[in-house]
Structure formats: C-alpha cells, structure tokens
Amino acid sequence: MDEYSRFVDWDKMDSSFQSQDVKELTCPELPELKQLARQGAWAKNHFLRAKVYHKLISNIPCRTVTPDANVYRDIVVEIVGKRSSSSLPLPEFVDDSLVPTYCLNAEGIGAVRKIILCIANQFPDISFCPALPSVVALLLHYSKDEAECFEQVCRILACNDPSKRLIDQTFLAFESSCMTFGDLANKYCQAAHKLMVAVSEDVLEVYSDWQRWLFRELPMVYVARVFDVFLVEGYKVLYRVALALLKFFRKVRAGQPMKSDSIQQDIRAFVRDIAKSVPPEKLLEKAFAIRLFSRKEIQLLQMANEKALQQKGITVKQKRSLPVFDQMQNVHLAVHAENFKSEIVSVKEMRDIWSWIPERFALCQPLLLFTTSEHGCSLSRFYSHSEGHEPTLLLIKTTAKEVCGAYLSTDWSERRRGGSTLSFFGTGECFVFRLKPEVERYEWVIIKHPELAKSGSETENHTSPSSSTLSSSSAPSHSSDHLSPFLSARHFKLPSKTASMFMAGSSECIIIGGGDGQALYLDADLNHGRTSHCNTFNNQPLCSESFQISLLEVWGFLD
C-alpha cells in the first residue's frame, strides 16, 4: 500500500478506492479542474486523491499565521498527555456522539480526537463546528501522519477569502445555513418540501439536519466524491448535494409508508442506505442539474438570515439535550394556536403558509393588520393599516368559498414613488397561492397587465433589477435588514425593465403578479376582484376569473 495508508482499514474500504494505478494530474485551469472533480477523475485512486487534496488545500488563501504540522508536533504531547486517545473528551463545539469512523483503523479513530483537541487549542474563536469531526476523519484517510492532517484542516478553517466559504464555525453561521437550506428547498424541491410540510410538525427541524446528511450519514464513498468537488467549488456544492438527497428521498419513498415515527429518522436512514438506490454518479448528476442561485445571491440570503437571527438574539448554542435547532422558534411554533385567530384560515393552514415564506420571517409571529370585517371595505384604510409593514400576507375568501392569497415582500408605501401613476414594485420573493378548493403555491412571479409595456420605463427609477446587490433604494430604509437578495432579473426570466414589477397599487385598484402566468386584481371597493390566468402553463387558476370578496385580511410579521 502507498504512504497514505497509515490510518486506513482496507478491509472496510470500498474496492473502488484501492486502485494503485498512479497518475499525475496536470490541470492549470479552474474550469477543467471543476469538470474533472465532478467526473471523479481521482475517485478511484487513493494515492492520486491524496495528492490532489494536498495540492488543492495548499492553494487555499489563509491567514498569515496559520498553524502547520510543526505546531501540531509541538503541542500534541502537552495537550493529550498520557491519556488514551480513544477516550479523549472532545470540545463543546462538536457533538461527541457524531464522530464518524468511515474506513479508519484503530490508530486513525484515536487520531481524530487528538487532532480535534489540538485544533480547539489553536482556534479559540470556534464556538460551533459540527462538520469538523467528519472533515478530520475524511482527510486522515489521505494523510501521511497526524501532523499533515492537522495542517490541512487548519488551512480550511483559516481560509480568509471572503468569496469562499468553507466550514461553519459559529452557531450563528450554522443556524443561518439551515434557514438558507430551507429557503432553497422551498424553491427548488417543491414536491419534497410539500411532503415535509405534510408529515412533519416542524419543517425547519428537518432541514436543520442537512449538514448531518452530508457529514454523518452519507457512506464514505459518497462523502469523498462530494469533498472532491467541495474543495474546488466551495460551500455551494454542499447545498446542491443536500437538495439532491431531498429530491431522491421523495422520489424513492413516494407512496411508501414511513419507516419510523419521525421523518428526520427516515431521511437519515435513507441517506445511510443510499447505495441501495442511488449511485454516487447519479447523486452528483442530480445535484448539478439544479439551476441554483449564484454564489453571490446565496451569500446575500445567508446574510439576511444571519441578521434575522441576530435581531432575535439567537447567536450562540444553548446547552440542551437535543442536538439541533431546539432553541429557535421554528416554522410551526411561530404560529401559536392560542394567539392566532383568523376568519379565513385555520391554524394548520396558516402554518402551511408559514412553511412557504422565507425562513428569516418564519421566526416571526403573524400579526393581524387589517380585516374587512372590522375595518370595512376601504382601499385607503387597507393602505393606512398595511403601510410601514414589510413583508405582509394577503388572505382572500370569496363568496364561492374559495381561499387564495399572496406573500408580498415590499411595503405598500412604495406605490407612492410613482406619484399618481400606477407604479410597480416588489421583489422576486413575492408569490401567490390558493388554499381552497386545492392547495397550490405559484412560484415564478410575473405580472400580466395590459399597461405593463408603457410603464416599463418608469420602473427603472424605482429599483435596479439587473443588480444582485442590496441598496437603500430597493426598499424602505426602515426594513433594510430584511431586504430580499433576489434582485437579479435573469433568475426570473423576465425582461430587465419589468423584472421587479410584482406589486402595484393606486387609489383605484391593487394588482399582484402571481407565478406560472397568474395575476390578481382587486377593485377599490375591496368587494370585487378578478384573476388573469395564462393557459400556456399547465396549472389551475388561482380562483374564479371574476369573484366577489367575502372577507379580506392583511397580516404582518411581529418580531
């Protein structure tokens, strides 16, 4: 065996790893390297993968003073002492019960604990890093000795490239990544998300497992393939693979009864046994077939979620018996049955709606702002009660017992920017939905309005949809911490001049753009409405083409 076999138990190792046909990898250009990583160019050669890992990690930009192999040799004896490595207590920022062994031999299993303790000594700022044991265990398979593994992990932790996120090292970063994954699952895995909502009491708790799927439950051969690409492309790869796992879980388990009382346990079991149904190549193929947001937009979404958590005071992990997300107000607990009362929807229906909204707002309580049963059918009162709140939720019940609504990302006061002219505003997080007769959420936001063409030039003064950066002109300044990161027109397949036109309001009417060719129009008296439905899309209309409003409610989000 080669020099990188010291810690490997070859009886446990998949035979595909054991090829000793040594090759050199010469790949100076990143695009070619990305392609090779995705194709598994070094997946079947243990020695070559070790060489590639060493090369990729040595090229990670790091802090000036980053602990190296010599530091490990200097401190390990003092830190470990004469204690047995197999019984060494781990620092609080990792879960002692979730340390994978993969294909390590007895020496390797003990070495994982020694290396983690030495990392804790050198990185006192790490407060929460559940992925660390898996990263150490994996890299130990491809290291000559403990010191080399220590140095490689330190370089990953000390990466100082602001555009390259690698491993979460704080509870705030970890929790916000779980919320971000929930946002992405809501958008890119709608069928699976619908299943999670149906069978789980707490959707966010399910999604808080996403890193565990990758770093604890996946078999070694899959983890290594993911890590191959992760070292080349970064954190976004982890989201892709976790979304692919969710898609495959839904596909493979569709129509089957749950194997346990917990959807969390079922997903974990599926990921552990994934080799029975999905080979590594298929998993990566599915992951990279997802047309995910850009890295920049995911970073903006992560920042928005972090700000929401900070505003809630959720920045550190509290000591508790359960491993994930218990301290946080989750999607369902945010709608408390004893405090919620609507004449249009039940608590269960409101919780379903809550599972669709961006995770950073799912931390908030619903707050009734306006209802026609109390405030009357006045559009001016609708505006006066709704303005100053962002986002808002609109609920409508028709005289035909239909129930529909819209999630509106922007303050209605934005309508004033157009003066007396009907002006369009909003962001790509807006969506419309139907609850009765059938539940349906319409994702892509498109305005269908005959006046749109002539108003296109006016809206350029309101927002800059071609930009994917946040600016104070994109939304009211008082809620800048909650700005939508999705301001890039290309992700919504709209002309740049009309990309932000999702809401419109005047003294005469309200127009709300829906998804999949849907749009909603409400008259000034709030008694009548109509919908626009594009037959190009294979879906049911939002509600009747022309309808009378029985009840209308507007809900805000209470921090």
User: Read out DSSP for 23-83?
Assistant: ------SHHHHHHHHHHTTTTTBHHHHHHHHHHHHHTS-B-SS---HHHHHHHHHHHHTTS
Cis ω before 100 (30° cut-off from 0): no
| Structure confidence at residue 424 (pLDDT) | 81
Give the list of residues 6+ apart from residue 240 with CB closer than 8 angstroms, or none. 287, 288, 290, 292
HSE-up of 73 (CA within 13 Å, CB side)? 6
Q: What is the pLDDT of residue 192?
A: 92
Position 449 confidence tier, pLDDT thresholds 50, 70, 90 = very low
Q: Which two tokens stand for residue 52?
A: 């590639």
Is pLDDT at 503 greater than 90 in this prediction? no
**What does the alpha-carbon distance between residue 53 and residue 356 come to, in Å, rounded to a whole number?**
39
Tell me the C-alpha distance between 475 and 33, whole Å.
Answer: 40
Residue 97 has pLDDT above 60, yes or no: yes
Cα dihedral 88, 91, 92, 96, rounded to 10, equals -40
Alpha-carbon distance of 172 to 56, in angstroms, equals 28
What is the structure's pLDDT at 64?
87
The beta strands (E) that lie in 114-257 are given as none
Residue 30's φ and ψ, nearest 5 degrees, are -60, -45
Question: What does DSSP assign to residue 518?
Answer: E
Whole-angstrom CA distances from 421 to 129, 424, 451 are: 53, 10, 11
Average pLDDT over residues 423-439: 84
500/45: higher pLDDT: 45
DSSP states of 464-502 = -TT--S--TTSS-GGGGGG--S---GGGGT--GGGTT--
Taking the mean position of all CA atoms in its chain, how far away is CA 122? 30
What is the sign, positive or negative, of the torsion defined by CA atoms of 76, 79, 84, 88?
negative
Q: Which two tokens stand for residue 518?
A: 């849907």
pTM: 0.76
Percent of residues, the chain, with pLDDT higher than 70: 80
- Which range is least confidently modeled, 412-421, 440-449, 468-477? 468-477
Q: Is 328 a residue whose pLDDT tops 70? A: no
Assess contact for 362 and 305: CB atoms under 8 A.
Answer: no
Helix (H, G, I), strand (E, B) or coil at 407: strand
Residue type, 493: K
In terms of pLDDT, which residue wins out, 316 or 451? 316
Give tens-digit pLDDT for 73-92.
999 999 998 888 878 889 99
**Residues 468, 296: contact at Cβ < 8 Å?**
yes
The lowest-confidence range among 24-28, 184-188, 264-268, 365-369 is: 24-28
- Indicate the residue type of 378: S
pLDDT tops 90 at residue 553: yes
- CB-count exposure of residue 357 (10 Å: 0-12, 13-18, 19+): buried
90-96 own/partner pairs: CB under 8 Å, 24+ apart: 90/116, 90/117, 90/133, 91/116, 91/117, 91/120, 91/126, 93/120, 93/126, 93/127, 93/128, 93/129, 93/132, 94/129, 94/130, 94/132, 94/133, 95/130, 95/133, 95/323
According to DSSP, the residues that pair with 395 across neighbouring strands are: 405, 553
CB 441 within 8 A of CB 433: yes
Query: Cis (ω within 30 of 0) for the bond into 485?
Result: no
Question: What domains appear along the chain, each with residue ranges and CATH number?
Answer: 1-169 (no CATH), 170-328 (1.10.472.80), 331-450+497-558 (no CATH)
Q: Is 174 exposed, middle or buried (0-12, 13-18, 19+ CB in 10 A)?
A: buried
For residue 142, the model assigns a pLDDT of: 96
Per-residue pLDDT at 314: 74
